[in-house]
Amino acid sequence: MSAANLMLRPLLLCCLLLAACGTARTAPDYTLPDTGFRVKADRLVPTATLVEAERKSLLYVSDPGERLNRSLYNFNARVDRAVLVPVVQGYEFVLPAAARTGVSNFISNLNEVPRLANCALQGDQNKVNVTIIRLFTNTVLGVGGLFDVATGLGFNKQNEDFGQTLGVWGVPQGPYVVLPLYGPSSGRDTLGTAGDMVFSYYQMEYLFDVAGITDRSLAGGLNTGLRGVDTRAGVPFRYYTTDTPFEYDVVRFAYTQARLLQIRE
């Protein structure tokens, strides 16, 4: 036997030992006993069981389009940070607090009309009566709605929208949805939002006719822009400032529960 063969034998033995070690490391099922901390892959919980357990959780929200919804959530966050928040900050810098309150009251008084319609569609006579009193009081005594006199008299705003009306009628909530710019919604609330937008459009068209405004595109644009800025200014939430990596999940759950509570009121 040559000296070369004698030298190759230890090297070959080392390679075999290393291969055996590699096999043991990559296939532990053949070397390690079953314990409470480790089970074979064929004994894991089936996916269907995990899905069913998730659906029974108190935190469960139907979100079949989660991947798209998360993308839209991130898109809304970028637009909000780059455009909406700076516009709101400029709005707050230009107008003093008293003037901004007057604008909010005026817009809210305009919205009493669709609120009244939704209260009537829901068949809630008490809310109908309160909304009529608010509309009359704030329009007459509140100088067209610039001042919220009704709340001071104990007649609180009835925040009813068409999404809530559909819920009262028994329309299912549907899956969770994130709308571009609008944010959290659901299948039912998306339809409700569209209904409210149509109602608001025709309401403003009527008011433009009464006021004799001919340039509808300019008036409509100013109305939409002012409503949007006022709405964003009234919401203290800022994206990605909740100090949690699960902000999307928290917002989804909070929105869904809030809407359920609003419908039950």
What is the structure's pLDDT at 163? 97
Question: Would you give the DSSP letter of residue 141?
Answer: T
What is the structure's pLDDT at 29? 43
DSSP string, 180-235: TTTEEEEHHHHHHHHHHHHHHHHHHHHHHHHHT---HHHHHHHHHHHHHHHHHHT-
What is the structure's pLDDT at 59? 73
Tokens of 227: 């409503």
Region for residue 219 given its phi and psi (left: phi exceeds 0; alpha: psi -120 to 50; beta: otherwise): alpha
Q: Is the pTM of this model over 0.85?
A: no
What is the structure's pLDDT at 16? 41
Q: How far apart are CA 172 and CA 93, in angstroms?
A: 43
Sole residue written with tokens 């009262």 = 168
Tokens of 38: 């480790």
- Number of neighbouring beta carbons within 10 Å of residue 251: 18
What is the structure's pLDDT at 242? 86
What is the structure's pLDDT at 12? 42
pLDDT (tens digit per residue) in 169-204: 999 999 999 999 999 999 999 999 999 999 999 999
pLDDT (tens digit per residue) in 17-35: 444 444 444 444 444 444 4
Low-confidence ranges of the chain (pLDDT < 70): 1-58
Show me where the domains of the chain are located: 63-81+161-227+237-265, 95-158
